[in-house]
Structure 1
Amino acid sequence: MSNATQSHELLNPMASSPNKIKLGVFAINAHGGCAITTAPEVHRAEDWRTNLETVRIADAAGFEAAIPIGRWRGFGGDSNFGGTSFETYTWAAAIAASTKQIATITTSHLPTVHPLFAAKQAATIDHISGGRFGLNMICGWFGPEMRMFGGSMMEHDERYAFADDWLAIAQEAWTTEGYFDHKSKYFNLVQAFSEPKPLNKPFLINAGGSPRGMRFCAEHCDAAFIILGSHELEGVRKQVRAYKDLAKNEYGRDLKVWCYSYVSVAETQAKAKEYVDRYVIEYGDDEACENIVKELGIQTGIFTPEQADQFRYHFKAGWAGFPLVGTPEMMVDHLGMLSEAGVDGICLSWLDYNSGIKQWNAEVMPLLEKAGLRNPYVPSQEKLAA
């Protein structure tokens, strides 16, 4: 990396934030966000103004990350959940140009884009953001999506072999001065060239949950993005420890672990749960949910059939995220437990993102600061002037 790269090393808050629990906003670029429902107030992805306003609110509140979900087609049912979405490289570029401090992430299905092209896009977004770019790498688990791009999908472990090779090229493009060649099973690059280099080393994320996926995270990534298989302290601690120990013991690396959550905050737990029950039970899209659970179980190995049954409610509520459902004080308890279990950050989603994040900042954030889970966010003069 160049001196310019080194000078921007602390500007990506996913890497540099001192907060015990870091926060992100998740999946706002896709229809429904994380909620598999036909509720009238469900998030509409095609409303760019809502995307931008919500991320700007997160940025001004000191959130560390804005992470989109990568979707190329929906999951059927009445909602066709995820069927409408903004493409994530261009989305991240626009977010980068419109924010001041939040990490701007793209979520990329690696088989759909050539690594040299992706590396160039990544470097461009990194310059637009001033060094705040991150790459969430997806190996391609949803068969109908991958078949759109070539008629077939690789076997599970081969997808990670492809990802190893893909990432090697991207990293060469980010670091190699001048020309380079790369010949392998999947690629043949002759006199490849990519300038400018990123200002900052892109922050790498992957959501691998299988043994092979975990090894990819441990070897290459700065953070693993996981579905929590348990909502209790010891279960979460065991799952997080498995990732961090693998990275430390096998590769000598410090791996961060992020998860995600659906949020419903109210003055009582009963009212918060009633809100979720309404959009899950009354309006939940069972057909789309079944399509997702089936595909995830077949292609990723994340869930046993028994676990999938238990998580169907949570899938409809928020893509099986950790439930942050209750009073503002309960949010502190939940995030405190996750932090104690070793979770470094959590991405949030709401049925209605715009009103939800405003409520979170007004009612929950001060309590998180009082509990020592987050520091009060004070923008630097440099960021205010940007």
Structure 2
Amino acid sequence: MSPKSNFDTNPMASSPNKMKLGVFAINAHGGCAITTAPEVHKADDWRTNLETVKIADAAGFEAAIPIGRWRGFGGDSNFGGTSLETYTWAAAVAASTSQIATITTSHVPTVHPLFAAKQAATIDHISGGRFGLNIICGWFGPEMRMFGGSMMDHDDRYDFADDWLAIAQKAWTQEGYFDHKSKHFNLVQAFSEPKPLNRPFLINAGGSPRGMRYCAEHCDAAFIILGSHDLEGMSKQISKYKDLARNEFGRDLKVWCYSYVSVAETLQKAQSYVDRYVLEYGDDVACENIVKELGIQTGIFTPEQAEQFRYHFKAGWAGFPLVGTPEMMVDHLGMLSDAGMDGVCLSWLDYNSGIKQWNAEVMPLLEKAGLRQPVETVPMQIAV
């Protein structure tokens, strides 16, 4: 039986909340914070990892999205060097939650699409139809070389991802056996059962013109780094994705971003908290290695702009800063919603304490502002 495609059990698509929320990068050391601060998140603490995701699930968060990492970036923190593999992670989370979308993040050059499709279908059954796939084409050269390959040119990575996804889609939808012969693959009498309950919700973070087109053509949500933090600039960036999907492919594309969070009774206290783990404990070596690998030319900035850029990278992978009082969180998320943003994935220096504070102090205000609806706990949706 072919899977449904209306995502009625996947809250990334079906949630009525005006501003959807996710937990991001909790499977990797540091999460999004490039720092050696004592309280930095430890990815290999599975008990805390799972407790945090279950708190998000109970609070009505729409998504749990891991980051895909195979090696770290050096420095004292070796940021990202310790991480939990994302298909296994997603399966465990799916079995332990009841309503949150369970996402895996997959570097497509590192896993055969038929194998990935089978894993995806399995996790979708475990979750009761809440599975999603975050497709990564592979931008970190040393990681790709770990798997015996070379780094593909930028646009070639997306051509490969086109081919990879075509096989996965066949595995999810075609009954019986199928063949697939292309530049990158030659499958003879391929077979994959069971089918997923729902077609997996697809995400990609492409920011280049080729990447944006991939998102618009194939994916259900684009995951973006905001290039501007004012309403006009954000609106233009978000509209480019949505207009491309609608005008070129007749598709409704959701847009999500990610944010690092620091909430306190005053803006000064919230900012001081970030300053401490960035300025006192920030890992400059790891940050520089990431900047070089991404090919970001900070020479285009003034010295002050370059330093600010590095600050935000160490604070939370250059995400949108949610720093301030609980009331300011409402203002920030309201502005993102007005700009056309559908959802925001959150990260904290200490996820467990951070999400508990968020749920206690911020969520009631988001509900009052109409950005969130009161949560309704649903029974476990495990297919049997």
TM-score, normalised by the number of residues in structure 2: 0.96
Tell me, in whole angstroms, the C-alpha distance in 1 between the residues paired with 2:186 and 2:167: 10
Which one-letter code corresponds to 1:160 in the other structure?
A: Y
Aligned partner of 2:115 in structure 1 is: 117
Aligned partner of 1:71 in structure 2 is: 69
Aligned partner of 1:246 in structure 2 is: 244
Determine which of 284, 287, 306 is the counterpart of 1:286: 284
Tell me, in whole angstroms, the C-alpha distance in 2 between the residues paired with 1:272 and 1:229: 23
Which one-letter code corresponds to 1:285 in the other structure?
A: D
Which one-letter code corresponds to 2:168 in the other structure?
A: A
* Residue 7 (structure 1) shift: 9.2
**Structure 2, gaps ≥5 residues long:** none
- State yes or no: 1:88 paired with 2:86: yes
Determine which of 164, 167, 186 is the counterpart of 1:166: 164
Aligned partner of 1:372 in structure 2 is: 370
Determine which of 258, 261, 275 is the counterpart of 2:259: 261
Aligned partner of 2:140 in structure 1 is: 142
Aligned partner of 1:49 in structure 2 is: 47
Which one-letter code corresponds to 1:188 in the other structure?
A: N
Tell me, in whole angstroms, the C-alpha distance in 2 between the residues paired with 1:142 and 1:310: 23
Tell me, in whole angstroms, the C-alpha distance in 1 between the residues paired with 2:68 and 2:312: 20
- State yes or no: 1:210 paired with 2:199: no
Tell me, in whole angstroms, the C-alpha distance in 2 between the residues paired with 1:43 and 1:7: 36
Alignment partner of 1:6: what SS? coil
* Residue 152 (structure 1) shift: 1.1
* Residue 378 (structure 1) shift: 1.2
Aligned partner of 2:21 in structure 1 is: 23
Alignment partner of 2:256: what SS? strand
TM-score, normalised by the number of residues in structure 1: 0.96
Which one-letter code corresponds to 2:183 in the other structure?
A: K
- State yes or no: 1:316 paired with 2:314: yes
Are the equivalent residues in 1 in contact too, given 2:7–2:201 (CA < 8 A)? no
Determine which of 267, 270, 282 is the counterpart of 2:268: 270
User: Residues 170 and 304 of structure 1: is their aligned pair in 2 closer, same or farther, counting only changes over 3 Å?
Assistant: farther
CA RMSD of aligned residues (A): 1.7
Within 5 Å, which residues of 2 pair with 1:31-42?
A: 31-42=29-40
* Residue 128 (structure 1) shift: 0.2
Alignment partner of 1:346: what SS? strand
Which one-letter code corresponds to 2:242 in the other structure?
A: K
- State yes or no: 1:104 paired with 2:102: yes
Are the equivalent residues in 2 in contact too, given 1:8–1:130 (CA < 8 A)? no
* Residue 274 (structure 1) shift: 0.1
**Structure 1, gaps ≥5 residues long:** none
User: Residues 219 and 309 of structure 1: is their aligned pair in 2 closer, same or farther, counting only changes over 3 Å?
Assistant: farther
* Residue 9 (structure 1) shift: 3.3
Runs of 4+ in structure 1 displaced over 6 angstroms? Answer: none
Tell me, in whole angstroms, the C-alpha distance in 2 between the residues paired with 1:345 and 1:333: 15
Alignment partner of 1:359: what SS? helix
Are the equivalent residues in 2 in contact too, given 1:20–1:373 (CA < 8 A)? yes
* Residue 169 (structure 1) shift: 0.2
Are the equivalent residues in 1 in contact too, given 2:216–2:253 (CA < 8 A)? yes
* Residue 294 (structure 1) shift: 1.4
Aligned partner of 1:199 in structure 2 is: 197
Tell me, in whole angstroms, the C-alpha distance in 2 between the residues paired with 1:72 and 1:159: 18
* Residue 8 (structure 1) shift: 7.8
Aligned partner of 1:188 in structure 2 is: 186
Alignment partner of 1:182: what SS? strand
Which one-letter code corresponds to 2:201 in the other structure?
A: F
Tell me, in whole angstroms, the C-alpha distance in 2 between the residues paired with 1:95 and 1:338: 28
Tell me, in whole angstroms, the C-alpha distance in 1 between the residues paired with 2:379 and 2:19: 24
Alignment partner of 2:8: what SS? coil
Are the equivalent residues in 1 in contact too, given 2:98–2:380 (CA < 8 A)? no
